[in-house]
Chains A and B, each alone.
Chain A
Amino acid sequence: MSNPNILVIDDEVQIRKLLQITLESNEYRVIQAASAKEGMIVAASHPPDLILLDLGLPDDNGHHVLQQLREWYTKPIIILSVQSSEEDIVKALDNGANDYLVKPFRTGELLARIRSAIRGNNNEETDPVIDCGSLQIDLSARVVKKHNDIIKLTTTEYALLALLAKNEGKVLTHQYLLREVWGPGYINQSQYLRVFIAQIRKKIEDDANRPGHLVTESGVGYRFVAA
């Protein structure tokens, strides 16, 4: 497979420059667009493998751009946003964004998100066994092992963990998790989520107070990290 193409839609020259250097030195090819209009045209004429979209564009609302792109573009879109706008982020994720990064972000973080988004998009059929060091999740056998010992999980705990693990590396919003695991009537019952996440952590994490796998994305949701 050739090097993935990434389209950067951001009006700030400095951010574009930074992203270009970061991505090109990590074997990605970069196309740039400075406005929503330009971004839409470039995306349509040379569909990239992934789009990095800034929510604060001068000529159009980022959410609107996202919606328009999602009418036909099926590959990953990662949102770039400024600090303290959790509602914005949740809205963008609900509108079909795959992931988000808050400015200022760390380069390592950016690359991890891109890798995970492209990987998630490529293999439709995920490997039934998710192996992350001492922890193994076998989705076909519905078995979770820690240090090769089977961990006893309740049905709900397993459903929640499996959903997060299947979307490894991707942030899932509180509402999404509540709807998928408990049902549409529970989307405001965030205390269930807090309780079950805490319980799963006690069972699968080395130190439940310093979780390495079930990561909290404050105000947004949770993310399963394999490494």
Chain B
Amino acid sequence: MATLIHHINKPLQFLYSGLLLLLVASGCYIASPYLDYHIVAFLLLLVVSVTAILFDILPVLFTAALSALVWNFFFITPYFTFRIDKTEDIILFLMYFVIALVNAVLSYKIRKVQKESLEKEEKAKTIKLYNTLLNSLSHELRTPIATIVGAADNLQHYNNKLSDINRYELISEISKASFRLNQQVENLLNMSRLESGFIQPKKDWCDMVELVYENVKRIEENTGNKKINIQVDQTIPLFKLDKGMIEQVIYNLLYNATLYTSPQSAISISARCHTDVLELVVEDNGPGFPPGEINRVFDKFYRLKNTQTGGTGLGLSIVKGFTEAHNGTISLENRDTGGARFTIHIPTETSYLKNLKNE
């Protein structure tokens, strides 16, 4: 709550603390026949302490000074003047003034220290996250690099000892490893785009039929003979989307499905339109996700426990990030018949121009 109030802008902080002080002061004034002015001083000090917990240093100092003056003006005889007759009242007034200021400064300082320790904790968390990233990254980048270096060494130094088949295998391993490296770089670039915080989709009209078929083709080319079932109606309207981002969303979901299911399992993708909302569904009949971990799969760098190596835990968090950049939502559930189902809803403009006859 303190942080919430902390976001109130400065002029308002002055206003609120002043009002609070005046409220308490008038209460005390009404009750003054029954209240000794020393008690009033404590009540006003309390107000200063409360504002010191909530507000910035300047409004707090302002409240402290104002409270001293209010106390003097309304509660110290003679009333309604800043004049003080009795010597002990002068001492009391000065002491009040000092205590109010010290009170204000100290409370403010305590809060500052608290904030710093909180920041330190955040920093420690970030460092931990970075270490996770570096671990999974160095593995993800080094494996293909090691493959390339090893294969190249073999080809360079032992070329005449290699059988034709092995030479061909080594070369195709280099090709595969390079593809994997490129994939990881792409993911990292996308992640840093998302991390930068001001990612703005550049929307243009997209033909979902083309988009889905193209990405399925890319997946099929890159992962061998995996067949993906496509359900997109030819009459689906055009959608206004950031094509690059949606491509990445579709690609990562499909790639993820091919990576974590057996070669025989069925993967399908469908796109539908529900009045200006695009619905994308990617399903498989693989092992599905452990129920306890479903909520975490979209977290950055999160990888399911006991999964095979490979993957940085970035793919799905990018999917989520790009979907949310379109004000869309993504959900994951296990199907009753087994396997996982990702469902994406993106609200956007549609155009049925496509279905008009142009003759």
Contacts and interface: CB of A to CB of B under 8 A. Distances in A.
Contact of A198 (B189, B207, B217, B243): B207
Interface string A169-211: 0000000000000000000001110111111000000000110
B195 to A, nearest CB: 15
Contacts of B247: 218
Nearest to B175: A106
Given A191-B205, A210-B213, A218-B247, A154 B182 contact: no
Contact of B213 (A195, A197, A209, A219): A209
Given A83-B186, A194-B238, A218-B247, A154 B358 contact: yes
Contacts of B152: none
Contacts of B206: 194
Interface in A83-110: 83-84, 86, 104
A84 B244 contact: yes
Nearest to A84: B189
A216 interface: yes
Nearest to A192: B353
Contact of B354 (A83, A154, A195, A216): A195
Contacts of A104: 178, 182
A120 B244 CA distance: 30
Interface in B182-212: 182, 185-186, 189, 204-207, 209-210
B214 interface: yes
A156 interface: yes
A209 B207 CA distance: 11
A216 B214 contact: yes
A190 B205 contact: yes
Given A154-B358, A156-B358, A216-B214, A86 B205 contact: no
Contacts of B358: 154, 156-157, 195-196, 199
A190 B230 CA distance: 25
B354 A194 contact: yes
Given A154-B359, A218-B244, A198 B205 contact: no
A75 to B, nearest CB: 31
B159 interface: no
A210 B209 contact: no
Interface residues of A, number: 21
A195 B356 CA distance: 9
B222 interface: no
A224 to B, nearest CB: 16
A152 to B, nearest CB: 9
A198 B354 contact: yes
Contacts of A199: 358
Contacts of A86: 244
Contacts of A191: 205, 238, 351, 353-354
A194 B244 CA distance: 16
A24 to B, nearest CB: 20
A219 B178 contact: no
Contacts of A157: 358
B205 A210 contact: no
Interface string A136-168: 000000000000000000101100000000000
Tell which of A190, A209, A210, A219 has the most Cβ of chain B within 10 Å. Answer: A209
A197 B354 CA distance: 10
B163 to A, nearest CB: 24
Contact of A195 (B185, B204, B353): B353
Contacts of B213: 209-210
B217 A194 contact: no
Interface string B168-188: 000000000010001001100
21 contacts: A83-B185, A83-B189, A86-B244, A104-B182, A156-B358, A157-B358, A191-B238, A191-B351, A192-B353, A194-B206, A194-B210, A194-B354, A195-B238, A195-B354, A197-B207, A199-B358, A210-B217, A216-B210, A216-B214, A218-B244, A219-B243
Q: Which are the 6 A-B pairs with shortest beta-carbon distances?
A: A191-B205, A209-B213, A194-B207, A195-B354, A190-B205, A191-B351
Given A218-B243, A218-B247, 19 more contacts: A83-B186, A84-B186, A84-B244, A86-B244, A154-B359, A191-B205, A194-B205, A194-B206, A195-B238, A195-B354, A198-B207, A199-B358, A209-B210, A210-B213, A216-B210, A218-B214, A218-B244, A219-B243, A219-B244
